[in-house]
Amino acid sequence: MELKLLLPVTATFTDSAGNKKGLGKTELSSFYHMICDQFQKNPQWQYCQDWGDFIADYKGRSAFADKVQSMEIIPVLEKNGVDAYFVFQSEPALDEKEKELLADYVDKQFAKGWGERLGSLKIPDRDGELQVVLWNPYSSLFLIDDMVSPENVPPKYRITDIRHPVYKECFRIQAIRDVDQDVRAGDLGGYIEKEWNLKHSGRCWIGENAVCHGNAQVCGKSRISGHAELKEEALVTGNSLIQGNSLIEGNSYIEDAVVEGQSRVTGNAIVESHKDGKWYPVISGNSQIYGSVVGRFVIDNSTVFPEEKLYNRGEDQLLIENGIKGAVSLEQMQKEAVKMEQRIRKTRTREQER
């Protein structure tokens, strides 16, 4: 099994006169082959590929330490520029719990200073010096992911040349196989910056004029539509629906939830269901979510502050409307369920008509 962790790349170029200039990912493309060459030669990068040293603290504490055979850092030239991936090879395959343990361990090792040698790689150039910096976004649990295997997970979309009118680094996607009964081969979708943003496995999809960029990712059965935007380190998974003009950003984590209207989920917010998606939260109106919302809630035109943690482990739905908390009757819950089904059907109909 191959696992990969995205390590975002930034760089500074210093010319012969000492002038410094920050380079974007696209500008880095012209240095790609130089970067690859240095990855092979530079001692600090060879050190970083020493799995035995990296995993030493974990020996005997988890089975995954014996399963992981190797690791390496691989620069990749993508449509939007240069990225790098931390790639692990394991045999036999890690289970879901072991993946979480590995991701958590990666974060802790970086926090302890192991990744300091990844901090800068200086590459001489005839016109000056390029300093490449890779950083760990400290959200490995979100970003570690099975790499697509042509044998068992065929690509479900391609990135077209249709550029987003505002986010020039993003391009519209097109399905190359049936995703589900609503997204067929040939259908155009929304916009992404790179393949990292939308998994090829599962039934997840980005449709209409929705956009996912930065290190944000959509996976599971989640559907993104309307003019919704995902960016930075956000993760949307499970059976989530993000629509309207919603904005999901920061290190936000959304699983088995609905976000719509003009809502914003940001910072280190967590919005997720309770009991495997059975009792899911709905964020609507002009809500602002900074804290945690777990379980059966309807939050409409309200704010959940950074230190606020809302948990509803019961079957009764709790309503927070215009900042006022209350309970929702069974009749209201049934009406809300009908409305949600109607919204989902309308979204799918719009995508089918495109």
Structure tokens at 338: 């009908």
Tell me what the mean pLDDT of segment 25-43 comes to: 77
Beta-sheet pairing, 145-146 with 2-7: antiparallel
Q: Which stretch of 17-26, 170-179, 286-295 has the lowest confidence by average pLDDT?
A: 17-26
CA 208 – CA 173 distance, rounded (Å): 10
Tell me what the mean pLDDT of segment 104-127 comes to: 68
Residue 130 pLDDT greater than 70, yes or no: yes
Give the 3-state secondary structure percentages of the chain, helix then strand then coil, rounded to 5. 25, 35, 40
Structure tokens at 131: 């300093």
Residue 331 pLDDT greater than 60, yes or no: no
For all residues of the chain together, what is the average pLDDT?
80
Between residues 51 and 2, which one has the greater pLDDT? Answer: 2
Residue 46 pLDDT greater than 80, yes or no: no
The pLDDT, as a whole number, for residue 297 is 93
Structure tokens at 205: 């999809």
- Residue 111's pLDDT band (boundaries 50, 70, 90)? low
Task: Please give the share of the chain, as a percent, with pLDDT higher than 70.
Answer: 74
CA 137 – CA 193 distance, rounded (Å): 18
Residue 109 pLDDT greater than 90, yes or no: no
Question: Which of the given ranges, 133-137, 316-320, 335-339, 342-346, has the highest pLDDT on average?
Answer: 316-320
Burial of 285 (0-12, 13-18, 19+ CB in 10 A): middle
The pLDDT, as a whole number, for residue 227 is 97
Between residues 340 and 95, which one has the greater pLDDT? Answer: 95
Strands (DSSP E) found in 145-230: 145-146, 157-163, 171-175, 188-192, 205-206, 211-212, 217-218, 223-224, 229-230
Tell me what the mean pLDDT of segment 2-7 comes to: 74
- Residue 230's pLDDT band (boundaries 50, 70, 90)? very high
CA 350 – CA 354 distance, rounded (Å): 7
Q: What is the pLDDT of residues 50-82, one digit of tens each?
A: 666 666 666 555 666 777 777 777 788 876 678
CA 197 – CA 219 distance, rounded (Å): 9
Q: Give Cβ neighbours of residue 154 (< 8 Å, ≥ 6 apart).
A: 177, 200
Which residue, among 135, 126, 144, has the nearest Cα to 4 in the 3D structure?
Answer: 144
Q: What is the pLDDT of residues 137-162, one digit of tens each?
A: 555 555 555 544 433 578 999 999 99
Tell me what the mean pLDDT of segment 281-293 comes to: 95
292 strand-pairing partners? 270, 309
Q: Coil, strand or helix: which one is 55? A: helix
CA 205 – CA 189 distance, rounded (Å): 8
- 197 phi and psi, to 5 degrees? -70, -25
Tell me what the mean pLDDT of segment 196-202 comes to: 89
pTM: 0.66
Angle at 32 between CA 30 and CA 34, to 5 degrees: 100
CA 119 – CA 186 distance, rounded (Å): 42
- The identity of residue 316, as a single letter, is D
Is residue 271 within 8 Å of residue 259, measured between CB atoms?
yes
- Residue 136's pLDDT band (boundaries 50, 70, 90)? low
The pLDDT, as a whole number, for residue 77 is 82
Tell me what the mean pLDDT of segment 12-36 comes to: 82
Residue 351 pLDDT greater than 90, yes or no: no
The pLDDT, as a whole number, for residue 161 is 95
Residue 122 pLDDT greater than 70, yes or no: yes
The pLDDT, as a whole number, for residue 8 is 72
